[in-house]
């Protein structure tokens, strides 16, 4: 019986793949030409890189909710862990500790560069946050990160800072009539403010996602 | 056939592979990994299909960037739930699934 179900799933999968491939090959060209629309409005977006413009200006609402989803996932993990800290690593390796101490300033510098570069070339808050998170994980593995042993007020504030900055900017812009419709003159500054907050919070959230999953009792 | 379309077709294969894996594999860790393969396939379709005429489209790229970050969060949450289940019951499978092998 199990063998029969297995064969059925494989056959259904092959049929699905064939149908999807057929659909993709026959797909007509898009009616709306999005790259041209983005290029036309790029000058008013406050940034020069189209992906950053889409992420934080044209579709800023998506990004706001995405950060909320991240925060929600982390809060759920914190609740699951019952307030228990990530497992302390065993005897710390002095070589790893030395390397982590040397690498950390470079990691922070890279994150800062990525954040700044996002305005006009590939980069931005998410990439910078991921680099910061890698730094935090490195510190934890080297046994140099005691703050995670007890997530207190400061860490919790850091986790939520990016979301609240984003939300505050979005709410403040409601005065102008629409959520996240930046006035073109100050768009660049507002986007950088949001991205700076997001970088810090995303770094902490992504590191937290890793550190609390690998916690003692989960 | 453009390179973009080729990426999209590879994405379809990854998606179907992941979907079959999510249904056939009993171990929860394998299910989570299969869902990730599925998600990667969907991202590849989105990005590949948008640039099948050769020009990169920033809108799907931004959406896939959003999707990747959400997928990371969802994976971490799934792993956390899996560990919680394992810690409380010792199981790595869902209840209704009976192991035959």
Choose among A20, A66, A213: nearest Cβ to B69. A66
Q: How many domains does chain A have?
A: 1
ipTM of the complex: 0.83
Provide, as residue numbers in chain A, all residues whose Cβ is less than 8 Å from the Cβ of B80. Answer: 76-77, 80-81, 212-213, 218
- Dump pLDDT digits (tens) for A17-47: 999 999 988 888 777 788 888 888 888 888 8
What pLDDT, on a 0 to 100 scale, did the predictor assign at position A158?
87
- Dump pLDDT digits (tens) for A173-193: 888 777 777 887 888 888 888
Q: Which of A7, A18, A20 to mutate to test the interface with B (most CBs of B within 10 A)?
A: A20
- Residue A169 resides in a domain: yes
* Cβ proximity of A210 and A137 under 8 Å: yes
Q: Quote the CA–CA distance of B54 and B5 in Å, as a whole number.
A: 10
- Dump pLDDT digits (tens) for B83-94: 888 888 888 888
A164 touches chain B (CB under 8 A): no
- Dump pLDDT digits (tens) for B11-20: 999 999 999 9
Residue A98, class by beta-carbon neighbours within 10 Å (0-12 exposed, 13-18 middle, 19+ buried)? exposed
What pLDDT, on a 0 to 100 scale, did the predictor assign at position A53?
85
| Average pLDDT over every residue of A157-168 | 89
A13 touches chain B (CB under 8 A): yes
Decide if A55 and B62 are in contact by the 8 Å CB cutoff.
Answer: yes
**By C-alpha distance, which of A213, A16, A81, A21 is closest to B22?**
A16
Give the chain B residue whose CA is nearest to the CA of A20: B12
Residue A108 has pLDDT above 80, yes or no: yes
- The whole domain housing A88 covers 2-213
Contacts of A48 (CB under 8 A, 6+ apart): A42, A119, A120
- First CA to last CA distance, chain B: 44
- The yes/no answer on whether domain B3-89 falls in CATH 3.10.20.30 is no
Q: Quote the CA–CA distance of A64 and A162 in Å, as a whole number.
A: 10
Query: Computed over its alpha carbons, how large is the radius of gyration of chain B?
Result: 17
The pLDDT confidence band at residue A217, using thresholds 50, 70 and 90, is very low
What pLDDT, on a 0 to 100 scale, did the predictor assign at position A58?
85
What pLDDT, on a 0 to 100 scale, did the predictor assign at position B45?
93
Choose among B65, B83, B87: nearest Cβ to A126. B65
- Residue A218 resides in a domain: no
A69 touches chain B (CB under 8 A): yes
């Amino acid at each position: 019986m199990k063998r029969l179900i297995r064969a059925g799933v494989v056959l259904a999968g092959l049929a699905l793949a064939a149908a999807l491939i057929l659909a993709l090959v026959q797909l007509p060209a898009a009616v709306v030409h999005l790259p041209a629309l983005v290029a036309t409005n790029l000058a008013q977006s406050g940034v020069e890189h189209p992906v950053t413009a889409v992420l934080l200006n044209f579709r800023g609402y998506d990004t706001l909710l995405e950060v909320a989803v991240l925060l929600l996932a982390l809060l759920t993990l914190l609740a699951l862990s019952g307030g228990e800290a990530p497992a302390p690593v065993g005897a710390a390796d002095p070589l790893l500790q030395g390397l982590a101490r040397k690498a950390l300033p470079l990691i922070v510098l890279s994150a800062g560069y990525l954040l700044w570069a996002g305005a006009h070339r590939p980069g931005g808050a998410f990439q910078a946050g991921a680099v910061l998170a890698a730094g935090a994980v490195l510190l934890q593995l080297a046994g140099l990160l005691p703050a995670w042993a007890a997530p207190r007020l400061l860490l919790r504030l850091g986790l939520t800072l990016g979301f609240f900055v984003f939300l505050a900017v979005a709410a403040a812009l409601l005065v102008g009539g629409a959520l996240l419709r930046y006035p073109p003159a100050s768009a660049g500054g507002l986007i950088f403010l949001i991205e700076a907050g997001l970088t810090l919070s995303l770094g902490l959230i992504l590191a937290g996602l890793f550190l609390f999953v690998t916690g003692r009792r989960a | 056939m453009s390179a973009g379309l080729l990426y999209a077709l590879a994405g379809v294969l990854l998606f179907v592979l992941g979907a079959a894996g999510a249904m056939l594999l009993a171990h929860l860790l394998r299910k989570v990994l299969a869902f990730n393969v599925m998600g990667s396939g969907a991202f590849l379709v989105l990005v590949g299909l948008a640039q099948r005429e050769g020009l990169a489209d920033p809108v799907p790229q931004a959406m896939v960037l959003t999707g990747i970050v959400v997928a990371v969060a969802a994976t971490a949450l799934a792993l956390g739930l899996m560990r919680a289940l394992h810690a409380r019951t010792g199981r790595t499978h869902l209840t209704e699934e009976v192991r035959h092998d």
